[in-house]
Amino acid sequence: MNSLLNVEGSPLSARFQEYEPQLYDIRSHILHFYGNIKDRDLSTTAESNLEELYEIFSELDELGHLDVDSTMCEFVLQDPAIRALLPAVHSSYSSYFSLHEIQLARKLLDHENPWKVLESFPLYPRYENLINIHFQNSSRPKILAFIGCGPLPITLLLFSKLYGIRCIGIDKDPEAVALAKSCVKHFDLEKEISIVAGDENVLSELEWDSVLIAALAEPKPRIFRNLHTIIKKKKSDIVKPISVCYRNYTGMRQLFYWPVRPEHTRGFRKIKEINPSCGVNNTLVFLECE
């Protein structure tokens, strides 16, 4: 394999032989997944095809949840054949995630008992675990602002239901905002949850004491830069530090989407980092403005 991993003298080359069979297997699965998505335009995929897409993306999900050590993970993410496919894989994952949320939102809106439908969703336990972990490690926010809430604000619905936290969902996609507002109304949570159209800059006009940044919210450098400026201006009005949390993809879950890089969060200091467990996809990183 034409790779830096095989260059004599590389600190990883001595262990490469031990990992090569598993790396070959993982690479084969990624190539298979890519073969299934490369000719698909996920922005126009009909909902009737989502069941098929679920099967296709289950292969990627299994790869992201493989229990491998950090050396194996590094071999995978540095493999030239895999790296060449990651932009397309990440783009397809983001599109699929959006399609999946839109379909589920519409199902909920068609049902008189939306909580029953939501709780029967196969991935619901992952969301609930993620919210529980966030709350247990948070500074107990009174009003949580969520940048990149998407068309189905499950995060906000659960923060409200489980912990009684008032929430603000922010999204720059007008269609996502309209659908999210409809969902909040259908769950009869309009007094507890507000949905606002726009990007992170709208936070300067709103009241909040904690902010969460979605894993797929973009562009990350601008979001963190503007958020830093807004918090600095807001600091004189508050007593305790404003909690900032972002969802990230780490380890093998970096196959799903690009991780946040250290340079993105300049001006913030890391308070804690919670690795995913119980099937959760995202690492939670808590920050404070310096």
Residue 11 has pLDDT above 60, yes or no: no
Residue 213, helix vs strand vs coil: strand
Q: Convert the pLDDT of each residue in 53-85 to its tens digit.
A: 999 999 999 999 999 999 999 999 999 999 999
The CA–CA distances, whole Å, from 60 to 7, 36, 102 equal 29, 11, 20
Token pair in block for residue 122: 């196969």
> Over the stretch 81-105, which tens digit does the pLDDT of each residue have?
999 999 999 999 999 999 999 999 9
The rounded distance, in Å, linking the Cα atoms of 33 and 57 is 8
pLDDT exceeds cutoff 50 at 123: yes
Q: How many Cα atoms occupy the beta-carbon half-sphere of 146 within 13 Å?
A: 29
Span between the terminal Cα atoms of the chain, in Å:
45
Q: Give the model confidence (pLDDT) of 216-252 as tens digits.
A: 999 999 999 999 999 998 866 666 789 999 999 999 9
Is residue 4's pLDDT more than 50?
A: no
pLDDT at 136 over 70: yes
Mean pLDDT score, 189-207: 97
Average pLDDT, the chain: 92
Residue 261 structure tokens: 């890089």
HSE-CB at 229 with a 13 A cutoff on CA atoms is: 9
Q: What per-residue confidence (pLDDT) applies to 7?
A: 47
What is the rounded distance in angstroms from the CA atom of residue 175 to the CA atom of residue 102? Answer: 10
pLDDT of 32 > 60? The answer is yes
Query: Would you place residue 12 in the very low, low, confident or very high pLDDT band (cuts 50, 70, 90)?
Result: low
Q: Is the predicted pLDDT of residue 1 greater than 50, yes or no?
A: no
| pLDDT-derived band at 2, boundaries 50, 70, 90 | very low
Distances (CA, A) of 179 to 118, 153, 161, 165: 15, 9, 19, 21
5 has a pLDDT exceeding 70? no
CA dist 203 and 200 (Å) reads: 6
Nearest Cα to Cα of residue 51 among 116, 122, 115: 122
The pLDDT value recorded for residue 156 is 98
State the Cα–Cα distance between residues 280 and 145, nearest whole angstrom.
Answer: 21
**Domain 123-289 maps to which CATH number in 3.40.605.10, 1.20.1740.10, 3.40.50.150, 3.40.30.10?**
3.40.50.150
